[in-house]
Amino acid sequence: MLKAHYAQRGPKPTEFIEALPLTLPELSAGQARVEVLAAPINPSDVLTLTGLYGMLPDLPAIGGNEGVGRIVACAEDVSSHQVGQIVLLPIGCGSWVSELIADASSLIPLPPHADPIQLSMIMVNPPTAALLLSEIVDLKAGDWVIQNAANSAVGNYINQLAKARELNVVNVVRRESAFDAVRQAGGEHMLCDGPDLPKRVRELVGKGNLPLGIDAVGGVATDHLADSVSQGGTVVNYGMMSGEPCQMSPRSLVFRGITLKGFWLAFWLRQSTPEAQQVLYGDLAARIASGELHAQVHATYGLSQIKEAVAAAASGERNGKIVITPQKD
């Protein structure tokens, strides 16, 4: 058994992460042992390795914040779960491992026949996409939304969820070569970012209402979205792929009444009720199990290839998610 272990952080995310042997203790009361079937590498995981994320685990640490596994053993006092059950791992558990031990009460049962790779990505990106469309602006059927980083995992989920709500999406990417990936994920309207983006957006949308811009990039890209949304609209930022602070001109802030907000799923999880979370994740799990909601996967890697996997995840030249599948080793 292996674990993706790191004892230092630095600007090169592959420098300190390495696959080391894993030994697990015996089960204690209330615990279950789970073999990890799939665990994605998210942008937040890469930022955690560099030390730039908003929450950082104590060192040394094991990489990975989410994933799906199969229960292989339960403590004698556990009656709520059973061996063979497919479960969602607790967030922040260090999921880049062959197996782990967790409190059985923290394991959420999942549909047994759904693709575990698709289910492994349910914890962070799908709820982020769903909440960006539901919590920021009161969107109505027929409204337009504009998003950058449209070929990202969150961007793909936004397209699929928007379609179910009869919303139109302007998908902004950095290069035309990304158009096909966005189209394959359900996107319809694609534009390349640039200073003239607002003009091209107006030509596309016409008189349609575009109240929401979704920004994962920061820097001048934020201002491009602000210039593109309708008067009095809102831009919400949830990432900093450019590494630069959000920029917005006084023209947008003062003369067009544009609002800039931030969104972080961790804050929503802290403030929402368990009932609200169950409703959200239950809906997403059902959509994934039915095939209505899915993510593009660029490649899968075993734990022994963790450096290559992290390097691939940190690269901007990919179409889809990088997923760790520990049982490949």
pLDDT of residue 143: 97
Domains and their CATH numbers in the chain: 2-121+295-328 (3.90.180.10), 125-266 (3.40.50.720)
pLDDT of residue 149: 93
pLDDT of residue 98: 97
What would the two tokens of residue 273 be? 């009720």
Question: CA geometry: angle at 108 spanning 105 and 110, to 5°?
Answer: 150
Beta strands 2-6 and 18-21, pairing class: antiparallel
The letter for the amino acid at 167 is L
The residue among 15, 39, 20, 5 whose CA lies nearest residue 328 is 39
Query: In sequence order, which residues have a C-beta less than 8 Å from that of residue 34 and are 6 or more positions away?
Result: 69, 70, 71, 72, 87, 89, 99, 100, 101, 102, 107
pLDDT of residue 53: 80
53 and 44 in contact (C-beta within 8 Å)? yes
pLDDT of residue 315: 83
pLDDT of residue 90: 87
Whole-model pTM over 0.75: yes
Give residue-wise pLDDT tens across range 76-132: 999 989 999 999 898 889 999 999 999 998 888 888 888 999 999 898 889 999 999
pLDDT of residue 316: 67
Report DSSP state, residue 30: T
Sign of CA dihedral 302, 20, 124, 156: negative
pLDDT of residue 113: 83
What would the two tokens of residue 97 be? 């491992």
- pLDDT beneath 70, residues of the chain: 316-317
In this structure, how many other beta carbons lie within 10 angstroms of the beta carbon of residue 271? 8
